[in-house]
Structure formats: C-alpha cells, structure tokens
Structure 1
Amino acid sequence: MDSLFSLAHRLLTYGLDGSPIYVDEFTRLNREVYEQALELYGTRGKTVESEAELCLGLLAAFAATIYDNGHKQQYIQQVLDRSWEVLPKLPASLLKVQLLVYCYSEVYDEELASQAHDIIATWNKADLTLEQVDIIEELKSFEENQYPYEVIE
C-alpha cells in the first residue's frame, strides 16, 4: 500500500525537478501504478491506519494515471466513500492530513482543507519532515488551482 502511494507520488512529480521526461519511463510507470491500483482496489485494510493508507494510495494512483478503463470515476467515488468512513476514526497525524488533502483534491470541500490546516497548525515548523513539507505544498497547490485541467477566464 505504501509502495502504491510512493509510486503514484513519483508519477505525480515526474519531471518536476527539471530532469527530462522519457516517454517509455512515463508510460511504464503509468501502467504499473494503474495496474497496482486495480489490484488493490478490492482489498480492505485490517486496521484504521492500513485502510487509510490504502485509500490514500488509491486516490493518489487514480489522480496520477492517464489510464481509465471506463470506471475510474466510479472507483474514485467508492474510495472517497471509504475515506469518509475512516477519516473520523484517525488520530490527528500526517496520514490523516494526507488523506484529507487527497480527498480535498477530488471534491474541493473546504471543510476537508480546514481540518488539514488545523492539524498542520499543531506541527512544529522548525522540525517538519520532508513528507510534511510535501503535503503542505500539495494542499497549497490544490487550494490555489482547483481547476487544473481547465482554462478559467
């Protein structure tokens, strides 16, 4: 599950560091992420945390991939439904913020962003981990650009 999120995150950030993007690598990574997401889609986590990690990985994977077997939006909605069940059970943590942010990126419900900001406000700014910095930046990006694939005039 963690590897799915890591792969999806790698795909989402592919080339952002200024390195060249190779079509064969991009295609291979897309296929690998999408196939792994479909494989894990029907599974459930045994604990609240493992279910949250699974939902996070699936949301990131579906957001990152260009593939769609015609049911992708249905899969996303079902993962969101599972996320609504698990979010109230999660303690305030990096995992909860990550799941809130990825859910927010799908539905743009301000309450989700607000909950993420409330948890982030409790973090010691001097001791942020790379993962914390990344999710803060992702939340900011989603909030600033709620329509990434549309031109707004």
Structure 2
Amino acid sequence: MDFNSSSLFSSAHHLLTYGLDGSPIYADQFTRLNRDVYERAIELCNSHGTTAEEEAELCLGLLVAFAATIYDNGCKQQYIQNVLDRSWEVLPKLSPSLLKVRLLTYCYSEFYDESLAREAHTIINIWNKNELTLEQAEIVEELKRFEENQYPWEEVTVE
C-alpha cells in the first residue's frame, strides 16, 4: 500500500471510525488496516514536509495514525512525543484553517492542554456555523468529544 501524509490521515481516520456507520467489522480487515497504518506511520516518522502546511499534514496524519492503531512496538509514546514536538514548531507558522484546528485538536487529545482547545475554538468561532463543511463539522464534534471525555479508555463513575 502506497501512503503519503494525506492518505495516512485518511486511512487512520477510517480506522478510527471503522464500523461506526453500522457496517459490519471484519477482524481480518480491521487487523490488516491497523498493521498497515501503524507500519506506514513508523516509516513516515522520519519524513518532514517542505512547507509548514506539509509538515502540519504529516504531523496530523501521524497523530491520528498512532491514536487509531492498537499496535505498539514499545516506542509508540516516544514517536508521539516526537510528533508533538514537531507540531509545536509548526503550529505558530499556520494560518487559521481547518488544518490548524485539526492539528490543535489531535495535539489536545494527547495531553489536554486547555490552551490548545481555546486556540482551536478561536478559529472555529470565525467559521460560518450555517455553512460548515463536512470536515469542519466533523472536527468540531471530535474536539467536543475530546473535551467531554479526557479519559476515553477509563470508566468514570460518579458517586
């Protein structure tokens, strides 16, 4: 499978949403997609974009890929930290855009720094709410989910 940063994002996003539309989940397909996405993310970790936008797209694809995959070669957290470090370098260079909101959102999902969510909301607030694209509406919902559940793998009980 040939991947670039946008196809990595696309495949990783598909993996994150696999079966949410009510379609059946096939273990062999899920496992294969997981492996392909994880292996390609590892391969792309040492790649860099030639522009701020390309670097941001690559960082976004890597963060989504690592969030979506079940595999860990023992170094996954180091890879994620490396991508976060790269993201801090590129975020100030990006204009307010869907790409920046996506990258802010996925950086936020890694360690829940409220300043990242605030910056994403600042950009979202300038969008025309009545004319959101599918991608804009989707990232608004993803950010909301991350903000509402900062412990997605934990069961939280209220006493």
TM-score of the aligned structures, taking structure 2 as reference length: 0.95
> Which of 60, 65, 81 is the aligned partner of 1:61?
65
1:143 and 2:150 aligned: no
Larger displacement relative to structure 2 (50-59 or 15-24): 15-24
The alignment of Structure 1 onto Structure 2 pairs a total of residues equal to 153
* Match of residue 104 from structure 2: 100
TM-score of the aligned structures, taking structure 1 as reference length: 0.99
1:125 and 2:118 aligned: no
Deviation at 1:43, TM superposition (A): 0.5
- Secondary structure of the structure 1 residue equivalent to 2:58: helix
CA distance in 1, matches of 2:32, 2:133: 30
Deviation at 1:39, TM superposition (A): 1.0
Deviation at 1:35, TM superposition (A): 0.9
Which residue type is aligned with residue 121 of structure 1? N
| Structure 2: gaps spanning 5 or more residues | none
The alignment's C-alpha RMSD in Å is 0.6
Identity of aligned pairs, percent?
74
Deviation at 1:30, TM superposition (A): 0.2
Deviation at 1:27, TM superposition (A): 0.3
> Which of 112, 135, 151 is the aligned partner of 2:116?
112
**Runs of 4 or more off by more than 2 Å in structure 1?**
none
* Match of residue 82 from structure 1: 86
Deviation at 1:127, TM superposition (A): 1.4
Deviation at 1:152, TM superposition (A): 2.0
CA distance in 2, matches of 1:11, 1:132: 19
Which residue type is aligned with residue 101 of structure 2? V
- Secondary structure of the structure 2 residue equivalent to 1:52: helix
* Match of residue 46 from structure 2: 42
Deviation at 1:18, TM superposition (A): 1.0
- Secondary structure of the structure 2 residue equivalent to 1:115: helix
